[in-house]
Structure 1
C-alpha cells in the first residue's frame, strides 16, 4: 500500500502522507493553478503535474524530491504549420466521408495537457503527454524535450497530412 496520495485539483496539487494510520495533508503546491493531472513515475519516483495556467498556458511541472520542490519543464508545443480539422462545413447533403465535404482547419496550439504516461522499465527517460487538441507527444530525455508523434497526428482518420497543402494527402503505411 502506498504512503502518499497525489491529487490534481482545480486549486493546485494536493499531497497527503500516511503517518501511522492517518492521512496528513501537505501545503498545496501550484496553489491557485488548475492541475489537470498529477501522477508518480513508477520507474524513478518523479512526481509530475500538468498545469493549466491561465497566464502562461499549459505547462508540465516535476518534482524529484517527493513534492517538496517543483520545476517546470520544456513546454509541449506543436510544430510550426501544424493544424487540425475543427469540423466539416455543413451542407444540405452533408456526409463527412464524401469527397466533396469541405473541412475547416485551425492552427494547432496546445490548449491542455490532459494526461501523462510513462515508458516501460527498458525506456528510462520515455514519457508521453496527451494534449487537446488531440495530440500525443513523446520525450526520451525525462521531459526536457518533446516531439509530436507525427504518424498518429497525420493518420488518414484525422484527415491525412495536416502539415501541407489541403490535408488530402493519402498516407501509406508499409
Structure 2
C-alpha cells in the first residue's frame, strides 16, 4: 500500500526532493543534494526505491549520482562514461532510464551508455556512433544531446531515443543498429522544400503511452505529434493547442489516451506560457481534443518556462501531475490536473521532475 510520494527535482544547483503523504496536500522539501552539481535528470526505480541523478557540465564533467536511502546519502561514479581516445569528451549526462534490467544514460555530445550494475560502471553502446547520418547531425540550442530515452517494457531490445537536433532514432537489437524514425515531422528551419528530412528534426521530448509500447508522443520544436506504429509515421495532434512549440510532455500512468503538456511561445516570443497565463493542457483522446487546466495556476504576469524533462505524473489514483519552472517553482495536482497548488518556489532552475511512490 502506498505510504508517501517523492517528487524528484533536478536543478542547476543540485537535486531536491519534495515529499508528501498520499493525500498530496502538504509537502516538505529536502536538499540540495549532490554537492550542488547541475543535475539534468533525477529518476528512481519504482521497485527498489533507488534514486539516480544525471549530472555534470563542461566544468564538472559527467557523472551519475546514486542514493539507496531515499535521498539521505549519495555517491557518484563516472567509470566508463567516456568515448574512445581521440573522440570528443563527454560534457554531461543528460537523461536516464531504468528498464530491461539495466540503467541507460544519454549524454552530450549525443551517445548512449548502459550500466548493468546499478550505475557503478558504464559501457558505451557504440552502434549509434556508427550511424551513417552521424557526421551530419547538428546541435540544438543546448548542444548535441541525447535527452529522451524510451524503453519497451516487454522487449529488451527495443529502444527509442530523441536527439537535438538529429531527430528520433530506433533500435530493435539493443543498440547494435539504428534507424531514423521522423516521417511526418516538420523541420521548419530547413530550406524550402526540405522541411521533412529523414533526420535533422529538433525533437524536444519523447514519451510512451502506458500499456501501448508502439504509441509514442513527441513534442517537437515544430509541432506536437503522435505515432501508433513505433515512430514509423507521425501525425500532427497540435490542433486545439495555443502553440506548436514546447518542451515537456507527461503520459498518464494508466490511460494511453491521456497526455499532459505545457505549450510555450516560440523562439521569437520568449519561450514562456502563452499570454503569460499558466496552463497545463490535457487530452483524454490521444490528442484529438485539448483542454486547458488553469485552476490554481498564476494567470497574471506568469512569464514562466518549463524545460523538457520538468513534468511528470505519479501512479496513484487519481494520478498526480507535477511540473517545475525555469524560475524555480514547483506545481502539483492531486486530481489529474483539475486543480493545482504551488509546492515550492525560489529554487534554482528546475531541469527535471520525476516521481517515486513509496509503499509502506
TM-score, length of structure 2 as denominator length: 0.34
Counterpart secondary structure, 2:127: helix
Distance 1:63 1:44, change over 3 A: same
Q: For the Cα contact (< 8 Å) 1:53–1:59, is it kept in 2? A: no
Which structure 1 segments of 5+ residues have no match?
A: 82-106, 160-172
Is it true that 1:132 corresponds to 2:132 in the alignment? no
In the alignment, the residues of structure 1 paired with residue 124 and residue 66 of structure 2 have an alpha-carbon distance, to the nearest angstrom, of: 20
Tell me the CA shift for residue 56 of structure 1.
Answer: 3.6
CA deviations 1:73-102 (Å, max 9, x no partner) are 234111223xxxxxxxxxxxxxxxxxxxxx
* Cα distance between partner residues in 1 of 2:34 and 2:115: 23
What aligned pairs does 1:65-80 form with structure 2 within 5 A after superposition?
Answer: 65-75=69-79, 76-80=81-85
- CA deviation digits over 1:43-94, x for unaligned, max 9? 321101112266541211000010000001234111223xxxxxxxxxxxxx
Name which of 97, 104, 111 aligns with 1:117. 97
1:1-174 counterparts in 2 under 5 A? 3-19=5-21, 21-52=25-56, 55-75=59-79, 76-81=81-86, 107-120=87-100, 123=101, 126-159=102-135
Q: Is the 8 A contact 1:14 1:29 kept in 2?
A: yes
Moved more, 126-135 or 46-55: 46-55
Taking structure 1 as reference, are residues 53 and 152 closer, same or farther at Cα in structure 2, changes over 3 Å only? closer
Q: Distance in 2 between matches of 1:27 and 1:17?
A: 11
Return the alpha-carbon distance in structure 2 between the equivalents of residues 144 and 80 of structure 1: 21
SS of the aligned residue for 1:150 comes to coil
Q: What is the TM-score normalised by the length of structure 1?
A: 0.67
SS for the counterpart of 1:57 is coil
Secondary structure of 2:36's partner?
A: coil
1:149, distance to aligned residue in structure 2 (A): 0.9
Structure 2 unaligned segments of length 5 or more: list them.
136-176, 178-360
- The CA RMSD measured in Å over matched residues stands at 2.3
Q: Determine if contact 2:37/2:60 at 8 Å carries over to the other structure.
A: no
Question: 2: distance between equivalents of 1:115 and 1:53?
Answer: 13
Task: Return the alpha-carbon distance in structure 2 between the equivalents of residues 131 and 27 of structure 1.
Answer: 25
CA distance in 2, matches of 1:39, 1:109: 24
Flag the structure with larger Rg: 1
Residue 148 of structure 1: CA displacement?
Answer: 1.0
Kept in 2: contact 1:39–1:47 (CA 8 A): yes
